[in-house]
Structure 1
Amino acid sequence: MARGLPKKKPIKGVKQIVLVASGKGGVGKSTTSVNLATALKLLEPQKQVGLLDADVFGPSIPLMMNLNESPILNEENLMEPLINYGVKCMSMGFLIDKKSPVIWRGLMVMSALDKLLRQVAWGPLDYLIVDTPPGTGDTHLSLIQNIPITGALLVTTPQKASLDVTRRGAIMFKKLEVPIIGILENMSSITCPKCDNNISIFGHDIDKLAEELDIPILRKIPLYEEITESSNSGKPLVLSVSKNQYSDIYTELAKDIIVFLTKQPINTN
């Protein structure tokens, strides 16, 4: 089987690649990707940060990063990523009509993903954050088998259904020897507007899962209305609400990622 796998080829000019993944949809993975990429740029303005929307069927980065233009081609016939908030972005949403569904078979999806990876002028780039689609299927396998992944951040919510799928995703990454950075728990609790007590509406099973898989829980993010509002407005929470307990969690998450990345090898191509 090893002989049949494609040889991993670095993306020219990209030093480190982080996958933001969840087996289940609707857990806040894209919101995490956007705020993580933006927070990395805020913390290290001298570094170049990129954000790739690898969800071909349901791209959300154009909305969350307030980008609506079409990419232009440079002299090397490569697409120039669109830039907002200092982050280089690429998404299938930039290339199709936003009201048109993508009705493609698997091979067409893999071809499109390859173009988003190889036919974009990403470099120079210190960090590339990849917002992956739900599941553990073709997109994830293609990414893992074709490019060197520095690490994967698992995003989940506390419900058992989400945790069960997260477990499968973690096992996949371990089998394919992708380093797992840690787990981010979204919707961990909600603050009562009358008494300010935190209420865990979905339970605490994530602690058992983390212990079972020997993966650290990096941060827990409560339900918070302004997280949704910032995503819908196209301005990440770390910018729209630059200093409060919720935006600070994303900033601390970015610091966790930086610490992890400093211990990992860097692509020099």
Structure 2
Amino acid sequence: MKLTLKALSLAILGTASTFTFAEEAPASEHTLSGNIGVFSSYNLRGITNAPENKNATLQGGLDYSHASGLYAGYWGSTLSYGETPEDDNAFENDFYAGYKGSITEDLGYTLGFTYYYYYDLGTKGANGFETMLGLNYKDFGITAQTLLEDTTWGNTGDTYFLGSYSYGLPRDFSLNTKLGLYYYDDSAGDYIPEEGTTETFGFRHFTVGLSHPLADTGATMSVDYILGGYDRLDTKQKNKVVLGLSYAF
């Protein structure tokens, strides 16, 4: 009987040890996530007068991250400028990679780059590289994205500054705000002549929105109000509401 009890005790201890080991198993160093969504329009960096897609827009992406801080990803969007038939079949492809690190428990930084590739776009010269520098503190973040070559939508050295802040509200609502500023290189580019730029720095847009999950489906609905700023010719952009439905996996 003692031997039986002793064997039973060892079995229980062994099982408990197995459970303990299972709970303490190290997390994977690799993380893969994705998202897909549909939005009422696509307004690149607050340009509402000439949106990238004035109609319903399908967007999505995949993100990979490593425990070391390295990351890479892809994001894409349908386009519809309405200027030529080719433009209505075009597709934006953003490939990006970089490194995310921590300075303190609440303060982090990001170093990276993005390559923009526009498929089947009637206008040539839109593709280009851009660097990205960022700092984040808790729910606040700021980034600076600098174009490395002349494109149809910017000159080498153009820099987009974006400040963002998100705040949780009651009943699972989230308040999301973004402030966009732009530095413009006013020298002549390959696609934008010198007279195509009158401003060197200015307010681009302020966006405020609400988002809310749809029960336990994993989907999120959102509404954003874009307060339009000014482009490189000091042209005032229209204010606009954008509705969205997205799913993260």
Fold match by TM threshold 0.5: no
Structure with greater helix share of residues? 1
Greater relative CO, 1 or 2 (CA 8 Å, sep 6+):
1
Larger radius of gyration: 2
